[in-house]
Chains A and B, each alone.
Chain A
Amino acid sequence: KQEVTQIPAALSVPEGENLVLNCSFTDSAIYNLQWFRQDPGKGLTSLLLIQSSQREQTSGRLNASLDKSSGRSTLYIAASQPGDSATYLCAVSGTGNQFYFGTGTSLTVIP
C-alpha cells in the first residue's frame, strides 16, 4: 500500500525567507501528485498538480517538483509571507481511484 511521508512536521520561518517542504512516497507507480493547503478548521485547497510525466509545476511564488524514480516531491515557497501560514499536504494517486495523503507540514511564517 502506498505510504506518503512529509518532512518536517512543523516549520517556523521569518517573513521573506525561501523554504522547501518535502514529500516522499513508497510506490513510484503514481499517476500524479498534488499539493494542498489547509487552513485551521477548513477544507483543503489545491495548490499544484504534477502529472506523472511532468517534472515540475509553478504557480506564482510556488514551485513543485517531482522525481518519480526516487519517490520524492518538493514544494518550494519563495519570499514567504505571514499569509502562507497553514498546513501543507501532499497526495499521490495511483491505480484505481484512490488518493494517498501525507500527514502534512505545519508552516508558520513570523512577521
Chain B
Amino acid sequence: SQTIHQWPATLVQPVGSPLSLECTVEGTSNPNLYWYRQAAGRGLQLLFYSVGIGQISSEVPQNLSASRPQDRQFILSSKKLLLSDSGFYLCAWSAGATQYFGPGTRLLVL
C-alpha cells in the first residue's frame, strides 16, 4: 500500500532563516506531487505541483520554492522566511482521480 511521509511534524523558525520541508511517498511510481499551505481559518492554497522529476509548477508568487530531486521526493524550501509563511503545510500525491495527503508540518515563524 502507499504511504506518504512528511517531516518535521512541527517547526519553529525565526524570521529570515531558511526552510526545508521534505515529503516522500512509498508504494507508487511517478506520482503527481503537491504542496499546499493551510493558514489558520482558511482553506488549502496550492503552492506547487509536480508531474515528474525536475518538473515544478508554481501556483502563486512567493518566497518559497520546490524541488523534486527523485521520483518520490518533494521538497519545499525558502531562503528567508517571512512571518506570513506561518501555517500548516500539507504534501499530497495522486496517480489519477484521488489525492492522498500526508500528516502535515506545522510551521511557526517568529
- Chain B neighbourhood of A46, CB < 8 A: 98-100
Determine the distance from Cα of A99 to Cα of B44 in the docked complex, in whole angstroms: 10
Determine the distance from Cα of A42 to Cα of B88 in the docked complex, in whole angstroms: 9
- Chain A neighbourhood of B59, CB < 8 A: 98
Interface size on B, residues (CB 8 A): 23
Write the chain A residue with the least CB distance to B99.
A99
**A44-B90, A46-B98, A93-B97 as given contacts; A99 in contact with B42, CB under 8 Å:** no
Determine the distance from Cα of A36 to Cα of B90 in the docked complex, in whole angstroms: 14
- Chain A neighbourhood of B90, CB < 8 A: 43-44
- Chain A neighbourhood of B102, CB < 8 A: 43
Within 8 A of B (CB), among A68-97: 89, 91, 93, 97
* Interface hub of A31, A43, A103, A104 (most chain B Cβ within 10 A): A43
- Chain A neighbourhood of B94, CB < 8 A: 97, 99
Are the C-beta atoms of B104 and A43 separated by less than 8 Å? yes
Are the C-beta atoms of B51 and A44 separated by less than 8 Å? no
* Interface hub of A41, A44, A49, A91 (most chain B Cβ within 10 A): A44
Interface size on A, residues (CB 8 A): 23
Query: In whole Å, how far is B4's beta carbon from the nearest beta carbon of chain A?
Result: 8
- Chain A neighbourhood of B97, CB < 8 A: 31-32, 34, 49, 51, 93
Are the C-beta atoms of A102 and B43 separated by less than 8 Å? yes
**A43-B90, A43-B104, A98-B49 as given contacts; A104 in contact with B98, CB under 8 Å:** no
Query: Can you pick out 27 interface pairs between chain A and chain B where the beta carbons lie within 8 Å of each other?
Result: A31-B97, A41-B88, A41-B104, A41-B106, A42-B103, A43-B101, A43-B102, A44-B90, A46-B98, A46-B99, A46-B100, A49-B97, A91-B99, A93-B97, A97-B49, A97-B94, A98-B46, A98-B49, A98-B59, A99-B94, A100-B46, A101-B43, A101-B44, A101-B46, A102-B43, A103-B42, A103-B43
